[in-house]
Structures are given as C-alpha cells and as structure tokens.
Amino acid sequence: MINESMTFEQGPIRPPNEARSLLLRFTRNCPWNQCLFCPVYKKRKFSLRTVEEIKQDIQTARDIADDIKALSWKLGYRGEVTDEVISYVFNKGYYSEQYASIAMWMYYGTGACFLQDADNLVMKTSDLVEALTFLREKFPEIKRVTTYSRSRTVVRKSVESLKKIREAGLDRVHIGLESGYDPVLKFMRKGVSAAQHIEAGRKVIEAGMELSEYVMPGLGGQKWWREHAIETAKVLNQINPHFIRLRSLRVPKRVPLYEKVKDGSFVMQTDDMLAEELKLFIENLEGITSTVTSDHIMNLLEEVSGKLPEDKEKMLEVIRRYQELPDKDRLIYRVGRRGGAYRSIDDLWRDPVTYKKIENLIRDIESDKGIDGVEEFITEMVDRYI
C-alpha cells in the first residue's frame, strides 16, 4: 500500500518533450513573472528552495521508485514496471500523484529528468551543483537532466560557473527566446534584449550543454510581424542552438496581453498571416545546424520540423502546401487541426468521413453565427490547450 508520508513537490508545467521525464521541483514559480503573453505563474510568488528541501524530495522520489520496483518483484515481474504493475499502482491502493508520476517514468524508461520551475539557474551555482550531484548519485539510471532558464539569468553566470553546473549533471537548458526584435521584447515585458539572448545562448553552448530556444510566431502581432520574423532568425543565426522550438502565440482571457488585444493596441495575426510569417522566419535561418520542432497543438503546421540546413526546403514546402489549399480546405484543415483530428495537411484526404463531418460542422456554425462564429469556435478550441 501507498506510504502517504512519501511525497515531493512538482510544479505546474514542463515542455511537451519532457512529458515522460521525472519531474522534480528545484525552485517555485518564476523570478521575473512579468511577460504579457504568459499565464502560468501570475499571482504566484517566486521562492528559492533550500538544498536540503530539494535533496529530501530527491530522496523521496528514490524511495518511491524503490517501492514500486519492490512491488514489481512481489507481483512476479522481476523489477520491471509493466502494464500490470501500472494497473496495480493506479487501482490497488498505491495511487498518489507522486507514485503515479514515478511509476509512469519507470514504465516509459526514458532516463530523462526535468527540473521545475521557470528559472533554476537563478540558484547559487554551489547550491545547484550540490543538488545536481545528489540527484545523479541517487538516480544513476538518469541519462539526461534538463531545466528552464532565462537569458537574463544566464548572462549573469560566468562560463566557468556554467561548466561546473554541466559537470554536476545538467545536460540541457530550455530558454524562452520568444523574439529577437527589441521593440517586441520591450512591449511584451520580456526583460531581456536581443543582445542578451545571443550572449546567453553562446554561454550555454560554450559550457557544453545542449540548448533549446523557444520562438513564438505571432508575438509581433500585425504591426511587427515582419521584423519579428527576420530579427528572431538573425539572433538564432548567431547562437546556433541545438533546438529551435516553435510555440505560436495564443491570448486567452487570463493572459495580461488580452487587455491590449481588447483595447486595440495589439492586433493578432490570423492563421494565414502566421503561415506567411513562419515562411519568412524559416527563409531567414542561415548558416546553422539547429533542429526545428513544432511539437505543440497550438502550432497550425506541426510538419514544419527538421534539421537545418538539409530540411529547410522541406519545411518551406509544408507552408506552401497550406497556402495553396483552396479556401474551403484551409478552413477545414484549421478546424480539424485545432480540434485534434489532423496532424498534417495530408490528413485532409486520408479520412473522407472526418472531412465531411468537419465540413458539416462549419456549415452549421456559419449558418447560425456567420464566419465570425467559425473563427470564434476555432479560437476557443486552441485556447483550451494553454
């Protein structure tokens, strides 16, 4: 049965590619927390955790993992976390969020660990090194440790400090670059400049860590979309990160940016405008070897992914194919994509039944509320993922 005293903290989010990672919380919330487009940590106070608190959580996670392994042996599965073990954990008195989290991590066997919350490099280097060292000692099976950080924080660290952190066990850093255009960064209260983004990215790479930079198509709105696309590409060209991850802007009502949308001081890009912006962005990525990924449902075109420079033309072709669709098919694709039915443009023709259902749905909404009603329906579908 579950030991209810065995619990550890976990934060609210992690990157999509860390869905099967062990999640451990090193800091709470975000030390900046002013970005207009971010809903995650608003009205939550940032706090550092002590090294002892972190180490206790790591030890608890280890104890839970050992408990689950012992359960596997008891059930006759020789320490492996099988479907049957997972079923037992969820249904036979072993369930808690922490037990479930550890059990699923062991089941998938990724060997990956993601450290929450928004900016763990804000910790003192010595504290972070001590916590990472303890983590690696307690979980020798871990193959990769990753965290979020901010460019503004990284530039305050020396390369020597970052190397110590790397040697202690941090393999990859996720940074929200969002834009490389200073007026956009200032308007969105990002608290960092394009020059600082470049300096931070180069430091992370020089220290020997992998670097993921997040880019937000649409963040320039209709006013700065062109500059946003071109200048963001220029910044990335000077960093050459290992990964460029696309996260299209969405503005639900709980996001501070929503007030600027309401008062007209920020006008959002339409999906078709975003496609043109994305094309301009990809066209301007030059001389780098980054992997571009579009691994989020908020992105209209998930197929815009690949390794630069060899896959650049393939990515541009995906955008061209979308732009060349007849108006009706573009709308059907948008509804299907936002509703989770489509992952690629080819899905339009793979299932005629789904196509017809979406076509009828659009017709019903349009006859009742007009084309604006269809757009409102699409917005409501995609905003639920934020």
Determine, yes or no, domain membership for 307: no
62 is written with which tokens?
């280890």
Tell me phi and psi for residue 105, to 5 degrees: -60, -45
Determine, yes or no, domain membership for 317: no
Q: Can you tell me the distance from the alpha carbon of 337 to that of 240, in angstroms, rounded to the nearest whole number?
A: 30
Strand duo 291-293 + 243-246: pairing: parallel
Q: Can you tell me the distance from the alpha carbon of 305 to that of 337, in angstroms, rounded to the nearest whole number?
A: 16
pLDDT of residue 206: 98
Encoded amino acid at 262, one letter? K
What are the pLDDT digits (tens) for 269-308? 999 999 999 999 999 999 999 999 998 888 999 999 999 9
Determine, yes or no, domain membership for 350: yes
Determine, yes or no, domain membership for 375: yes
In this prediction, residues 76-100 reach a mean pLDDT of 91
Give the least confident one: 5-9, 184-188, 364-368: 5-9
Instruction: Identify the bridge partners of residue 178 per DSSP, sorted by sequence position.
Output: 215
Residues 6 or more apart whose Cβ sits within 8 Å of residue 367: none
pLDDT of residue 304: 97
Whether the CB-CB separation of 193 and 251 falls below 8 Å is answered with no
Q: Can you tell me the distance from the alpha carbon of 385 to that of 299, in angstroms, rounded to the nearest whole number?
A: 11
Determine, yes or no, domain membership for 379: yes
Burial class (CB in 10 A: 0-12, 13-18, 19+), 96: middle
- DSSP characters for 201-262? HHHHHHTT-EEEEEE-TTTTHHHHHHHHHHHHHHHHHHH--SEEEE------TTSTHHHHHH
What angle (nearest 5°) sits at the alpha carbon of residue 374, between those of residues 369 and 378? Answer: 140
Determine, yes or no, domain membership for 337: yes
SS3 for 23?
Answer: strand
pLDDT of residue 383: 81
pLDDT of residue 2: 58
Q: How confident is the model at residue 4 (pLDDT cuts 50, 70, 90)?
A: low
Q: Can you tell me the distance from the alpha carbon of 298 to that of 326, in angstroms, rounded to the nearest whole number?
A: 22
Determine, yes or no, domain membership for 363: yes
Quote the domain boundaries for residue 380.
325-386
Give the chain's domain count.
1
Whether the CB-CB separation of 193 and 232 falls below 8 Å is answered with no
In this prediction, residues 15-21 reach a mean pLDDT of 92
Encoded amino acid at 25, one letter? R
Determine, yes or no, domain membership for 65: no
Question: How many beta carbons lie within 10 A of that of residue 191, not counting itself?
Answer: 16
86 pLDDT more than 90: yes
pLDDT of residue 297: 81
In this prediction, residues 3-29 reach a mean pLDDT of 90
pLDDT of residue 3: 66
Whether the CB-CB separation of 137 and 59 falls below 8 Å is answered with no
